[in-house]
Amino acid sequence: MDPNSSPPNSNTTIPVVATLPAYGSDSSTRPISLWPGMFHSPVTQALWEARSHMFERLLDPPVDAPPQSELLNKTPSQSRTTILYNFSSDFILREQYKDPWNEVRIGKLLEDLDALAGTISVKHCYAVDTTTRPLLLVTASVDKIVLRKPISVDIDLKIVGAVIWVGRSSIEIHLEVTQSTKGCGTSDSLALSANFIFVARDSKTGKAAPVNRLLPETEREQFLFKEAEARNNLRKRTRGGQKREFENGEVNRLESLLAEGRIFCDMPALADRDSILLRDTSLENSLICQPQQRNIHGRIFGGFLMHRAFELAFSTAYAFAGLVPCFLEVDLVDFLRPVDVGDFLRFKSCVLYTEVNPDQPLITIEVVAHVTRPELRSSEVSNTFYFTFTVRPEAKATKNGFRIRNVVPATEEEARRILERKDAQALLSSTLVTK
């Protein structure tokens, strides 16, 4: 043995160094408490580096600065931001986003979409050389996220987003994910679209604050503005109406849903073998929210919550179908209350209902996030997510006679949740068709 070599059983110390880049020229002197959370994807790091001059004021706002008194006119082009994922040439980036089926991890992409939408909302509200105090911009809701084609992890990917509508204190951001098809050169096609709504709050009082106006210029920008305005009006009409009383004509629908569930509860041996109780499809996980997961406002990053909810929904659909699920869309998500560092967060999922279509069966998963406070004996709903999946065609082809089960409720509360979600989707679909 070489006398200079270490013995086989010697203890070797391997140093670990921080890989988070130092943001801004004066980041080494800024207190670590003013940094955003360190739960970062490559996209959030890139956004910070590109827009650090904007985020500096959000992290360390000027003392006693007055609120913005004069609103500016902004165009969509002023907030438009593009992200490019160089998957074809960056092996490490590819590995960070790859799922087991060589496609992009949807959960991580949802996280990135929220981060980009937040940056775009900051750009719209930002004024160069302003002396006013910055606004707090938080995710209020996600209108809809629709996957239009599978997203490969081997081909470069692009996300383009811009503000398309503003209200008094609300900002809607439209995002489009595009990717070329193998063998089609540089021609990009739409792979996913998403709409995020942010709301502005005064950083000192916490109350709703007005945002800069939006002046759409092109024909497409005007069209997107009118579409967003219609969606906002629809949200106002339906908000607060989820827990409604069913009319006499709808009671029959409720009873019809409950009929099969009663058989499962009272005469399980006679129940339909192609159906299953909603409660028997549930999964759950929980976590303590850590400081590394906070955003620049000190709250838990909304994209992180969507990522975790998606992973649970995917697992629920997988366990239910018995085949690898294929994500289709996220329906309207409302962020009902903020989630703080240290909160005990519980995600509960179930298959809410299915559509047994031989060509493309649909599985709707409900994921409810609860902020639980054991010391106060309280539990509040933070978010409710609705994900729709189908099964991969190549997986379905390997299972002869494959079909998914119907889901039936055992209680009136479960039946109401199913009908309310179906009605909400039908209302949204009819509104989009008639526009």
Q: Which domains does the chain have, with CATH numbers?
A: 32-61+71-238 (3.10.129.10), 248-434 (3.10.129.10)
Considering only CA atoms, which of 315, 240, 319, 328 is closest in space to residue 276?
319
Q: What is the mean pLDDT of the chain?
A: 82
Helices of type H across 135-196: none
Give the pLDDT confidence score for residue 219 in this predicted structure.
Answer: 96
Q: How far apart are CA 201 and CA 234, in angstroms?
A: 23
168 C-beta neighbours (distance < 10 Å), count:
10
- Would you state the structure tokens that stand for residue 224, as one six-digit string? 């997107």
Average pLDDT over residues 119-124: 90
Position 293, amino acid = Q
Q: Quick one: which H or E segment has residue 390? A: strand 378-391
Any idea what the Cα angle at residue 115 is, between residues 343 and 427, rounded to 5°?
A: 85
Q: What is the mean pLDDT of residues 326-346?
A: 90
Mean pLDDT score, 9-36: 50
Give me the mean pLDDT over the 221-249 stretch: 75
pLDDT at 11: 62
For residue range 273-298, list pLDDT tens digits in order.
Answer: 889 999 999 999 999 998 888 877 77
The stretch 286-314 carries a mean pLDDT of 88
Task: State residue 70's pLDDT score.
Answer: 82
Per-residue pLDDT, 429: 61
The predicted structure's pLDDT at residue 56: 64
Question: 6 pLDDT exceeds 60?
Answer: no
The whole-number pLDDT of residue 149 equals 93
Q: Are 211 and 198 in contact (CB under 8 A)?
A: no
Provide φ and ψ at 389, rounded to 5°. -125, 160
**Residue range 171-211, pLDDT digits in tens:** 999 999 999 876 555 678 999 999 999 999 887 787 899 99
Strand boundaries in 183-230, DSSP class E: 188-202, 213-214
Q: What is the pLDDT of residue 28?
A: 47
CA 119, 122, 123, 127 torsion-angle sign: negative
Window from 60-74, 77-91, 185-199 with minimum mean pLDDT: 60-74
395-413 pLDDT, tens per residue? 665 666 678 899 999 999 9
The pTM assigned to this predicted structure is 0.84
Query: Which pLDDT score, from 0 to 100, does residue 55 have?
Result: 61
434 φ, ψ (degrees, to nearest 5): -80, -10
> What's the rounded Cα separation, in Å, for the pair 284 and 159?
32
pLDDT value at 417 more than 50: yes
**The pLDDT value given to residue 352:** 95
Query: Is pLDDT above 60 for 96?
Result: yes
Is residue 33 scored above 80 in pLDDT? no
**Could you tell me if 415 and 421 are in contact, meaning their C-beta atoms sit under 8 angstroms apart?**
no
In the block, tokens 């002023």 appear at: 78
> What is the pLDDT at residue 8?
55
pLDDT bracket for residue 94 (50, 70, 90):
very high
